[in-house]
């Protein structure tokens, strides 16, 4: 698919940066003229992906989180969130609803939420090398009024 525009950001895995990532994603996606519902879906999915990186990738330290957003052919927004943290030993298991390595305060619904709010979700991970979450959302083109 041809790329029409993109941004690439990197920030430390600190909880305060989750809100920044949501706002940056929403600001970038705005050029596609999404509905409020589509914008809410994007912000929620980004929040889940970034929070996963902050909480699970770097449980005892602060490392880098990279976020890339691209606009592709067909009015598709692609969002990639990548960390260089501890990785996920069993991605299939981690994607099961209610599975969490983050303790009792975590719901274990992060990947489920990402998948339900986006049209596509792909997770790649390697132990001690990090995790890459790639999500896509087709933004509906509005008919001229």
For the chain, the structural domain boundaries read 3-138
At 90, the pLDDT band (50, 70, 90 cuts) reads confident
Q: Is 106 a catalytic residue?
A: yes
Yes or no: say if 121 and 112 are a contact pair by the CB < 8 Å rule: no
Q: Given a cut of 50, is residue 111 above it in pLDDT? A: yes
Catalytic hit among 22, 84, 106, 124:
106
Catalytic hit among 18, 38, 52, 86:
52
CATH topology classification for 3-138: Heat Shock Protein 90 (3.30.565)
pTM comes to 0.88
C-alpha–C-alpha distance, residues 143 and 122, integer Å: 31
Q: Is 48 a catalytic residue?
A: yes
Catalytic hit among 17, 18, 38, 48:
48
Q: Is the Cα torsion angle 42, 46, 47, 48 positive or negative in sign?
A: positive
- Of 111, 39, 112, 38, residue with least CA distance to 81: 111
Q: Is the Cα torsion angle 116, 110, 127, 80 positive or negative in sign?
A: positive
| Mean local confidence (pLDDT), 104-129 | 83
Q: Given a cut of 50, is residue 115 above it in pLDDT? A: yes
């Amino acid at each position: 698919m041809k790329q029409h525009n993109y941004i690439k950001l990197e920030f430390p895995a600190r909880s305060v940066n989750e809100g920044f990532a949501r706002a940056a994603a929403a600001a970038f996606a705005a050029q596609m003229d999404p509905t409020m519902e589509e914008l809410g879906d994007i912000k929620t999915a980004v929040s889940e992906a970034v929070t996963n990186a902050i909480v699970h990738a770097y449980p005892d330290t602060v490392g880098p989180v990279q976020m890339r957003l691209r606009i592709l052919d067909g009015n598709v927004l692609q969002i990639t969130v990548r960390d260089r943290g501890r990785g996920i030993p069993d991605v299939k298991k981690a994607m099961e609803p209610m599975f969490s390595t983050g303790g009792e305060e975590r719901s274990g619904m992060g990947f489920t939420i990402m998948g339900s709010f986006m049209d596509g979700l792909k997770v790649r991970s390697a132990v001690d090398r990090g995790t890459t979450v790639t999500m896509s959302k087709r933004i509906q083109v509005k008919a001229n009024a």
